[in-house]
Structure 1
Amino acid sequence: MNFDGILFFPVTPFDPRGRVDLDLLREHVTSTMAHRPGGVFPACGTGEFHALSAAEVESVVRTTVDAVGGRVPVVAGTGGPLGHATDLARSAADAGADALLVLPPYLVGGPQAGLVAYVEAIAAASALPVVIYHRGTAQYSVDSVRRLAQNPKVVGFKDGHGDIGLAQQIVRAVAESGRDDFAFFNGLLTAELTQAGYRGIGIPLYSSAAFAMIPEVANAYYRAYADGDEPRRLEILDGFYLPLVRLRDETPGFGVSLIKAGLRLGGMPVGAVRAPLVDPTPAQEERLAEILANGRSLL
């Protein structure tokens, strides 16, 4: 798989009765594809994977695959309880996804041998390659990633933990294994804040929740980052991303809630977030509107 550009994580729209709105999801994905993401990751963190049923995940992935139309890779979310994860792996393959992002197992944490077995069981459940997500209850050691890299179906590593020294060791371990088809992603919240450092250790790709909400600003930042235009990158960082992060850090889960609120402010009625996440207060939405306006003024 070839990822060239920002990684797009769509939200999952809900209608006024709380049901997944597939027509609006199609509109969301189709309109955002015009901004040329490098890949699309439905039913993952920004898409509220934690709150979707298996049937909802399958319909979200199928709708996204159809909307993308083969233009870029579609990487579907899976994870949680092992039986749930393997079922989702098979349904994603049936829906036409190109790969899987393996989110952490549910509730329990196991030893490294158990984490390796968890990934291998999901990889064996379908024909799809898998990307491992390093965060929460799934924090992989260098040796575990080295072992998983021996499996040709394990094709990537996404870091959501933030230990850049450990990430560097993992990058080097995979390089020493001889794999030249292994992708590395920065998956921290608002990854734009840390991506300059991640690029320095050999992790050039990053996921952008903001791209789902305000793709024109996210792309302007990406262009500055890719071109090495530091004055422009810092202008957008200071004028948009840092204020956004300050608001995000006020409430747990706002990494998702603010994205849906921003889409609603832009006229796309994607609905509220599902529990246990909460929506911003009216005052917080006002501040978000100001941040979005400031971001657009930088274009």
Structure 2
Amino acid sequence: MAQPRIELDGLLAFPLTPFTDDLELNLDAFAQHVEGHVSAGAGALFVACGTGEFSALSPDELAALLRTARDVVDGRVPVWVGAGGGAATARAGIAAAERGGADGVLLLPPYLVSGPPSGLVDHVRYAVRGNDIPVIVYHRSPGVFDARSAADLLDIPAVVGLKDGFGDVDLMSRIAATVRGTGTERGREFLFFNGLPTAEVSARAYSAIGVARYSSAVHCFAPEIAARFHRALSERDDAVVDALLTGFYLPLVALRDETPGFAVSLVKAAARLRGQKVGGVRPPLAEPNADQLKRLEQVIGTGLSTLEGLGT
């Protein structure tokens, strides 16, 4: 079945998954967190994905998060949800997302094993079989496509886009050009996303190759900074983009790169510093130490001061 045209514009938010002190799911805190994203102007929500600790969640928890998000959002913005893992698990996750009323699915890479690009296309084809819900494929290790195999995704009607978490701009440029160069309506409407951690740092480079959409983890704890950066990028206001990069994003990334897993842990810690009851992270992710938390607080403070200095 052919998919209708999918519109995913504006700031794409990837909510955190709050836990209690004993690392059980905290749906009340999640509902508040989701409302915060929507109230701050998110254009769509992608729940239980990378930032939402998809790999640490059970199927029942995924269903509860989706149900809660849909109840809170109440149709105001699209709600997408993560699925992935091995072929059978990914198919079951997509089916559960469709039953749960999600607007779409972000399909994360296969778990543990890797295969040739043609095998990745077959994996996607297997995972979506029997379901009509729109799917965006997450292009990252170990699920890295080449240009030809990415174009082959056009033959799978449920697949509406590709999100790049691999970080090779040259490869992504060739993928986008090949897909668009098919000259088909599907190729023209196919969506591309920059899904790198702290994607704002690479957003200008991706925008230059026609990949303007990106996921913002910063929207989880500093939506005012995320929104101002997004506006500046869309308006090609390089002065504001550079000010926010040097005054906030680059120091944040330097701290993020100190410890594996901080693309999630540091975001959750930042949300706690700003008063959100999101709890800690499930293992094997690790919490920032006291010194890192102090520096994170300084990074946030400097970022907010930089934002205030920019005016409107």
Both proteins in one fold, TM over 0.5: yes
Deviations 1:239-259 (A, max 9, x none): 000110010000000010011
Distance in structure 2 (CA, Å) of the matches to 1:175 and 1:249: 34
Asked if the contact 2:88–2:127 (Cα under 8 Å) also holds between the matched residues in 1, the reply is: no
Equivalent residues in 2 for 1:78-227, closer than 5 Å: 78-177=83-182, 178=184, 179=186, 180-227=188-235
Deviation per residue, 1:178-218 (Å, 9 max, x gap): 12321110011111111101011110100011111111111
Q: Contact conserved, 2:20 with 2:26, CA < 8 A, in 1?
A: yes
TM-score (norm 2): 0.93
Within 2, Cα distance between the matches of 1:149 and 1:74?
A: 23
State the alpha-carbon separation in 1 of the partners of residues 130 and 225 from structure 2.
39
Residue 255, structure 1, aligned to residue 263, structure 2: yes
SS at match of 1:107: coil
CA distance in 1, matches of 2:38, 2:267: 17
> Residue type of the partner of 2:82?
G
Matched, 1:54 2:62: no
CA distance, structure 2, for counterparts of residue 262 and residue 134 of structure 1: 27
Matches of 1:243 and 1:132, distance apart in 2? 30
Whether 1:283 and 2:283 are equivalent positions in the alignment is no
SS at match of 1:194: helix
Rounded to whole Å, the distance in 1 between the matches of 2:113 and 2:293 is 35
- Structure 1's unaligned 5+ residue stretches are none
Residues 2-51 of structure 1: CA distance to partner in whole angstroms, max 9, x if unpaired?
12211100000001221111111111001121111121100100000111
Superposed structure 1 runs of 4+ greater than 4 Å apart? none
What is the one-letter code of the residue matched to 2:172?
A
Residue 291 of structure 1 and its aligned partner are, at CA, apart by 0.8
Deviation at 1:88, TM superposition (A): 1.1
Contact 1:4 1:37 in 2 (8 A): no
Which letter maps to 1:12? T
The answer to whether 1:264 aligns with 2:272 is: yes
Are 1:26 and 2:31 counterparts?
yes
> How many residue pairs get matched?
299
Give the TM-score of the pair, scaled to structure 1: 0.97
In structure 1, distance between residues paired with 2:251 and 2:177:
34
Query: What amino acid is aligned across from residue 179 of structure 2 in structure 1?
Result: V
Deviation, structure 1 residue 152 = 2.1
1:5 aligns with 2:13: no
SS of residue in 2 equivalent to 1:296: helix
Task: State the 1:142 CA deviation.
Answer: 1.0
Give the SS at the match of 1:77.
Answer: strand
Distance in 2 separating the partners of 1:74 and 1:173? 29
Contact 1:115/1:140 (CA < 8 Å) preserved in 2?
Answer: yes
Please report how far the alpha carbon of residue 73 of structure 1 lies from its aligned counterpart in structure 2 after TM superposition: 1.8
Query: Percent of aligned pairs with the same residue?
Result: 45
Partners of 2:117 and 2:240 in 1: how far apart?
A: 42
Cα deviation, 1:44-84, whole Å, max 9, x if unaligned, reads: 00000111111111111121122222222222101112221
Partner of 2:46: 41
Residue 224 (structure 1) shift:
0.8
Instruction: State the secondary structure of the residue aligned to 1:93.
Output: helix
Partner amino acid for 1:215? Answer: P
CA distance in 1, matches of 2:21, 2:256: 25
Counterparts of 1:246 and 1:84 in 2: how far apart (Å)?
35
Unpaired segments of 5 or more residues in structure 2? 1-5
Q: State the one-letter code of the partner of 1:171.
A: A
Code of the residue aligned with 1:38 in structure 2: it is G
Question: Structure 2: how far apart are the matches of 1:125 and 1:218?
Answer: 37
Shift of 1:151: 2.0
Give the partner amino acid of 1:236.
Answer: L
**How far apart, in 1, do the equivalents of 2:134 and 2:286 lie?**
33
Q: Distance in 2 between matches of 1:125 and 1:34?
A: 35
- Pick the aligned partner of 2:253 from 238, 242, 245: 245
Q: Quick one: distance in 1 between partners of 2:156 and 2:37?
A: 34
Structure 1 residues 275 and 125, CA gap change in structure 2 (3 angstroms): farther
